[in-house]
Structure 1
């Protein structure tokens, strides 16, 4: 985020979107990791119902916003590769800002509706969650109310902010791959594919673990397996994102070297 803000060579839509994804990763890890470390150190932990539901809201907001942002990034790559002559006229600063604001607003609104509906449930059953954070299913397991309505509502919202973006990503990459295969020179193919390889790697890890936890039926699934998969997209993916997007990117390396060269050491 610092390099993008300081280097003029990185002032492009692609790196602007990468910065937004980085902010969401920071938000999610800040929401999950402190309590996770407390649970590990003390072999468990306690928190109020309000704090638990609040943790779920921040987590859900960051996850759904990242789903939408990854879809926007796939569209950015689609225009850059499939329609490069019109890239600057389509992916404008206004488009970038509106995409970020729209993604944030849609995610916050839907997750707020989910959070309010969850908070209105009656919690009179057990008060123990066998998980390292307050996820949706464990919270519903504490309620003694009928949760069928909120489950239907969440499934509808999930279709809008997860399934639809994922479908958009798939369609974009079908066109991208088709265009790349039509490029005659091998160097041209490699250059075109390198511009979207990082994004494709993150999408595969992120959506793969997300679908494994929330879309695959959980009956008979080992709790330990669910925890490991949850750990992948809450901790491991945000950890790998800076390496995938930055250290494997030539523009980031050049910006970092230039920053080091221009820096002045005072002793």
Structure 2
């Protein structure tokens, strides 16, 4: 690997010891990024242009799509440059911005997925009161709350991480500037940062996931009391996409931020971090569109196909 860095630069190692693997990853990451751009942009456009999708569920989904677009764009272009050539450098400013955005948008997505679970809970367990409870003003407030919590978390955790005494080689053993990788790069005492990351992980990962599981526990009890097969399918169709997205996002995020301190876990964490940053944002649109008849119909109408007359 050629080192073109200045003393203030970081080196994002990725899998630089396996150049052949990096070329394969370049193709996969580029394909995933293009899927992310197309899929999430399409969901946002459909949610805006199709009147039948002007509902809380699609309001939250379009916010999730916007989050995923920003999340991947904050790291994938730099990642593609590093995967393609020998120059793995990123400036201190670039690393700082990437870290801030990663924490900001990652935390916001954790909270937003919890909000979406609450929306699904009301839709299944209190369907007659859904429009009264999940009204437009509350939707805007919940989304604003998710963004504010994400911003506060990033403002609190980014500065202490960047003030760490980094080792002179400045080699970040990861694809992006994330808190665990930067803590490992420090040659000083990281006790405070590790405690801060552990506390943040509990509040940002464990607590929201627990609330999501409580919501789905209540949904499961409500579904088990349903005798109608049609109602069963409708309830499961309402929740299955969100539950799949939650599983993919939280499993990869927890593998990155709650991993044990050993070389095997850190090596495995790089794969999970890559999937967390690139894979889940590209899969979310597929998960929501493949099983969602309303989005499929809206897409056909956008293309000018007369869906309503054919269905009638």
- The TM tier, using the shorter chain, reads over 0.9
- What does 1:73-92 correspond to in 2, within 5 Å? 73-92=116-135
Gaps of 5+ in 2: 1-43, 307-312
C-alpha contact 2:107 2:150 (8 A) present in aligned 1: yes
Deviation at 1:122, TM superposition (A): 2.7
Q: Report which stretch shifted further, 38-47 or 87-96.
A: 38-47
Runs of 4+ in 1 over 6 A off after TM superposition: none
* Alpha-carbon RMSD: 1.6
Equivalenced residues, count? 263
Number of the residue aligned with 1:186: 229
2:90 is aligned, of 37, 44, 47, to 47
What's the CA shift for 1:225?
Answer: 1.9
Asked if the contact 2:72/2:277 (under 8 Å) is kept, the reply is: yes
Task: Give the equivalent residue in structure 1 for 2:244.
Answer: 201
* Contact 2:117 2:216 survives alignment (8 Å): yes
What residue in structure 1 maps to residue 62 of structure 2? Answer: 19
Once the two structures are superposed, residues 109-144 of structure 1 have per-residue CA deviations (whole angstroms, 9 ceiling, x without a partner) of 111111111222233532111211111122122323
Counterpart for residue 74 of structure 2: 31
Task: Give me the whole-angstrom Cα distance separating, in 2, the residues matched to 1:87 and 1:141.
Answer: 47
Q: Which moved more, 1:57-66 or 1:166-175?
A: 57-66
Residue 64 of structure 1 is aligned with which of 68, 86, 107? 107
Q: Is 1:211–2:257 an aligned residue pair?
A: no
Q: Is the 8 A contact 1:180 1:192 kept in 2?
A: yes
Say if 2:186 is the partner of 1:143: yes
- Alpha-carbon offset, residue 181 of structure 1: 1.0
TM-score by length of 2: 0.80
User: Does the CA contact (< 8 Å) of 2:259 and 2:265 recur in 1?
Assistant: no
Q: For residue 194 of structure 1, report the CA deviation from its aligned partner.
A: 0.4
Q: Which residue of structure 2 lines up, in the alignment, with residue 240 of structure 1?
A: 283
The 10-residue stretch of structure 1 (195-204 or 117-126) with the greater mean CA deviation from structure 2: 117-126
Counterpart of 1:134 in 2: which secondary structure?
coil
**Pairwise CA distance, 1:223:** 4.3
Determine if contact 1:125/1:143 at 8 Å carries over to the other structure: no
Q: Which runs of 5 or more structure 1 residues have no equivalent in the other structure?
A: none
